[in-house]
Amino acid sequence: MRGLSLLRRADVVVHDRLAPVSLLADLDESVEIINVGKAPGNHRSQQAEIERILIDRAKRGMCVVRLKGGDPFVFGRGYEEMQTCRAAGVPCVAVPGVSSAFAAPSVVGIPITSRELVRSFAVLTASVAAESQVPEPDYAALAKLDTIVVLMGRKRLGDVAESFRSAGRDADTPVACIENATLPHQRVVVGTLATISAAVDAAALAPPVTTVIGKVAAMGDVPAALEGRGAAREVGEIASRGDGGVALSIAGRRVLVTRPADRSYRLMELLRAQGAIPISCPLTKTVFPASLPLLDEAIAALSRYDWLAFTSVNGVRGFWRRMRRMVRDARAIGPCRVAAVDATTADALRTGGVIADVVGAGRGARGLAARIIDAGQKAPPAHAAARVLFPCSDKARPTLPELLTEAGMVVDSRVAYHTVPVNDSRRDGCGTVGRTRAHGEVDVIVFYIPSSVEAFVACGRQAGEAILACIGSTTAKAATAAGLVPGIVSKHSSDEAMVAAIVEYFDHVDGH
């Protein structure tokens, strides 16, 4: 909670590859986010450059958060970076984290100590910098301890296992290797000192991997299987049975979410609840321009309008931003009636103190238009022809304005925000669609807006055998027009409806 509080106050966030970047989704657009992550053999930023960035931003008077994975003081650079900052006159504090040495075993039910069996443990790293003068660990001494946890040891796993065997540890000593601990695509491979290296190679585990050596490695929530071949188990398999033992049809399936990161949290949580593995890969982002004179002019003359219509949460956000810029609040709406396309958009209005008079009941813009027209017939507008203000995206489809105009209304569409392609990967865990192979094959690609479909095609990506899931007919039509074939189309424009449509599809495929 302390770390989250500091993130919300940050002007700059400098994060590593294994840091929880999902926490960055809700940060204000003004926050500078700098990815300095290092992967084995691919160091995005040298250490001296990272320290230069920290000191430079801090000396400009900015609040800087250095976001790292696990505990930065356990085989990390936390102490070095803190000392360098202090030497430069930059005050700093540390917020402790939980080391993967403890978190990874715990999440698969492995206790690194046990009252009956284990009274000692050690944590070591198998990765040593080329310029380091630190000698090899004393394997003879370590072999006498009950539990050994090895970090950053994937590349040298075979050497480490052989070193412990040569130091006198029994070849049948249980070993567990946990890949991507706590993440949706977590996997576990179990074996012995004699078999673990071959088992991990066969399962193609990739860093980060945490290795547990000792009796406790056989005590976790991993199938028996310590017979020489090893056993790999994905978190999707563990989550594949819900309450009452009912199989979840999308458990373990990888779902690529192309929605902007700040709008995908709810969808990803619902997917995880079904055992799926959501992968955030935003293809568009929302930008609120500093100047929107046409919308400002409409807001200044709100008394001219009978209706305010919103087809997205971002339309609501953009509208409230301009209202605040003009020092106005909900009272300025006056007798103007308000319409929201769905419950989520209505909730966004409620945060500004306005309860929608009309909420669409599915079918997107068409459903909302029908509701507005029906309400207008029951309660005639103050003006001869009802006037509607429609704050929307610069990429908004003309469906709502056209339907209302056909019904005799006058619609003013005013841009409240821009939808633009994502040209970098600073806010998501996978960058472009092409990099999702690191997470395994994608089963489903989710599109919420036509702009995401256009961005997908523009970046030259192919869906392959993945099923395309579109929210509503408008997005589905955009996909078809782009030469893609939607396999799933949700009936309503909500996260719950999207997940239900995906589940229904795979229930049918699997014959449930």
**138 and 190 belong to one structural domain:** yes
Give the whole-angstrom CA distance, residue 255 versus residue 276. 7
- Asked if 293 and 412 sit in the same domain, the reply is yes
Whether 259 is in a domain gets the answer yes
Neighbouring CB atoms inside 10 A of 83's CB total 12
Report pLDDT for 392.
95
292 & 395 share domain: yes
Domain-located, residue 95? no
Give the three-state DSSP class for 445: strand
User: What distance in Å separates the CA atoms of residue 40 and residue 34, rounded to the nearest whole number?
Assistant: 19
pLDDT in tens, the chain (512 residues): 898 889 989 999 999 888 877 677 667 767 888 988 766 555 556 889 999 999 999 999 999 999 998 898 998 889 999 999 999 999 999 998 899 999 999 989 999 998 888 889 999 998 765 556 678 889 999 999 999 999 999 999 999 999 999 999 999 999 999 998 887 678 899 999 999 999 999 999 998 899 999 999 998 865 433 333 334 444 434 333 333 333 467 877 889 998 887 678 788 888 888 878 888 888 888 889 999 999 999 999 999 999 999 999 999 999 999 999 999 999 999 999 999 998 889 999 998 899 999 998 777 888 899 999 988 877 766 666 899 999 999 988 899 999 999 999 999 999 999 988 876 444 443 433 433 333 357 899 999 888 889 888 887 767 778 899 998 888 899 999 988 999 999 977 788 889 999 999 998 876 65
The residue segments making up the domain with residue 230 are 100-238
* 231 and 250 fall within a common domain: no
Boundary (domain end) residue, out of 419, 436, 463: 419
CATH number at residue 70: 3.40.1010.10
Q: What is the pLDDT of residue 439?
A: 39
Does residue 11 lie in a domain region?
yes
* Residue 484: CATH number of its domain: 3.40.50.10090
Same domain, 300 and 386: yes
Report the CATH number that the domain containing residue 181 is assigned in CATH. 3.30.950.10
Q: Does residue 414 sit in the same domain as residue 426? A: no
Q: Is residue 262 part of a domain?
A: yes
Judge if 265 and 382 occupy the same domain.
no
Does some domain include residue 180? yes
Boundary residue ending a domain (419, 436, 460): 419
Does residue 94 form part of some domain?
Answer: no
- 495 neighbors 266 (Cβ within 8 angstroms): yes
Question: How many folded domains does the chain comprise?
Answer: 4
Q: Among 419, 453, 484, where does a domain finish?
A: 419
Same domain for 17 and 69, yes or no, is yes
392 in any annotated domain? yes
Report if residue 93 sits inside a domain: no
- Cβ(100)–Cβ(47) below 8 Å: no
The owner of tokens 């806010």 is: 427
Q: Are residues 66 and 24 in the same domain?
A: yes
User: Angle between the 472-481 and 450-458 helix axes, to the nearest 10 degrees?
Assistant: 20
User: Model's pTM, two decimal places?
Assistant: 0.60
Between strands 231-234 and 187-192, the pairing is: antiparallel
Residues 208 and 336 grouped into a single domain: no
- Domain check: are 303 and 186 in the same one? no
Q: CA torsion 320→325→330→332, rounded to 10°?
A: -130
One domain, residues 409 and 456 = no
- How far does CA 410 lie from the centroid of its chain? 40
